[in-house]
C-alpha cells in the first residue's frame, strides 16, 4: 500500500483550511496580507508605523506570530486596533488552523484589512497558505543582498518586497541595486518598496501600495 508522506498530508489539510478562510475573507470583503521576513528585519516596527497612520475608524486587525512571548502584540495594541498574539510554542511558522482558531474570537464583519505578522523565518512560513490575498517579504539592508537567491521560495511567492532599514545604507555593505536585481531574477513581477520605519522615508510608498491593494 502506498503511504502518503506526512508533510504532504499536513500541507493538504492546511490548504483545505486556507481555502475556506480565503473564501470567507472574500465573502466578507476582507483583504488579508501575510508578512514574512527573517527575525529582526523590521516587521513589527513597520506595522506600528502602519497602524499609527490609520484613522481610528479604519477596519483593521492584526494577528502576530512568535515562538514565545506576547511582546509584539503589546506593542501593536497601543494603536487601538484589535490585535491578537499567536504563540507557536516552538513552531517556526503560522498555519491556517492557527489563523482559523484565533479569528473565532473576533466579529469578522468589523474587519476590512487583516495583517498577519508571521514568525521570523524565510523558509518555513513560505509553504503555509494562511488564506491571504498576498504575501509580503521584508528584507532589511542589515542582511545580505543575495538573500533572494538563497531563499528563492518566498521571493517567488511574494507580491511585494519591502527593503527596510534604508537609513543604515551608509553603514552596511549592502548593494540595494543588486538586491533588487536578485529579487527580480527570482520573480520578475515582484513590486519593490524601499523604506525606513525609523526616519519615515518611503513609508508613503508602502501606504500607497497598501491602499491600492486593500480597497476597504
Element (H, E) at 183: helix 176-186
Q: What is the structure's pLDDT at 7?
A: 60
Q: What is the pLDDT along the chain (216 residues), one digit of tens a residue?
A: 444 565 666 789 999 999 999 999 999 999 999 999 999 999 999 999 999 999 999 999 999 998 888 889 999 999 999 999 999 988 899 999 999 999 998 999 999 999 999 999 999 999 999 999 999 999 999 999 999 999 999 999 999 999 999 999 999 999 999 999 999 999 999 999 999 999 999 999 999 999 999 864
What's the pLDDT at 118?
97
pTM (two decimals): 0.93
C-alpha cell at position 124? 518555513
Using the 8-state DSSP alphabet, how is residue 33 labeled? E
**Side by side, which strands form the sheet with 60-66?**
83-87, 60-66, 113-117, 31-37, 134-140, 160-164, 191-194
Which three-class secondary structure state does DSSP give residue 188?
coil
| pLDDT value, residue 59 | 97
- Check if the beta carbon of residue 180 is closer than 8 Å to that of residue 192: yes
Ramachandran region of residue 29, left (φ > 0), alpha (ψ -120 to 50) or beta? left
pLDDT of residue 1: 44
Q: Are 139 and 169 in contact (CB under 8 A)?
A: no
Orientation angle between helical segments 43-52 and 203-213, nearest 10 degrees: 80
Q: How high is the pLDDT of residue 202?
A: 98
Q: How far is CA 187 from CA 38, 51, 156, in A?
A: 19, 29, 5
Identify the structural domains of the chain with CATH numbers, from first to last. 6-213 (3.40.50.300)
Measure Cα distances from 32 to 40, 61, 131, 210 in Å. Answer: 22, 10, 8, 11
> What is the predicted pLDDT for the residue at 216?
46
Can you spell out the DSSP letters for 77-120?
Answer: HTTSS-EEEEE-TT-SS--HHHHHHHHTTS-GGG-SEEEEE--S
In sequence order, what are the residues at sequence separation of 6 or more whose Cβ sits closer than 8 angstroms to the Cβ of residue 47? 35, 62, 64, 76, 115, 117
- What is the predicted pLDDT for the residue at 41? 97
Amino acid at each position: 500500500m502506498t503511504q502518503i508522506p506526512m508533510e504532504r498530508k499536513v500541507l493538504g489539510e492546511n490548504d483545505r483550511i486556507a481555502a475556506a478562510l480565503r473564501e470567507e475573507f472574500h465573502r466578507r470583503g476582507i483583504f488579508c496580507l501575510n508578512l514574512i521576513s527573517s527575525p529582526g528585519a523590521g516587521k513589527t516596527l513597520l506595522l506600528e508605523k502602519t497602524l499609527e497612520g490609520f484613522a481610528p475608524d479604519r477596519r483593521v486587525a492584526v494577528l502576530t506570530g512568535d515562538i514565545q512571548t506576547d511582546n509584539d502584540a503589546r506593542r501593536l495594541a497601543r494603536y487601538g486596533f484589535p490585535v491578537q498574539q499567536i504563540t507557536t510554542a516552538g513552531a517556526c511558522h503560522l498555519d491556517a488552523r492557527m489563523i482559523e482558531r484565533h479569528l473565532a474570537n473576533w466579529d469578522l464583519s468589523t474587519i476590512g484589512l487583516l495583517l498577519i505578522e508571521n514568525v521570523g523565518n524565510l523558509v518555513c512560513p513560505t509553504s503555509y497558505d494562511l488564506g491571504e490575498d498576498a504575501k509580503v517579504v521584508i528584507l532589511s539592508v542589515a542582511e545580505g543582498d543575495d538573500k533572494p537567491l538563497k531563499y528563492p521560495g518566498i521571493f517567488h511567492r511574494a507580491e511585494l518586497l519591502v527593503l527596510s532599514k534604508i537609513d543604515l545604507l551608509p553603514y552596511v555593505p549592502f548593494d540595494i541595486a543588486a538586491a533588487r536585481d536578485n529579487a527580480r531574477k527570482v520573480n520578475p513581477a515582484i513590486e519593490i518598496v524601499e523604506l525606513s520605519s525609523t526616519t519615515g522615508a518611503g513609508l508613503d510608498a508602502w501606504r500607497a501600495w497598501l491602499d491600492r491593494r486593500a480597497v476597504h
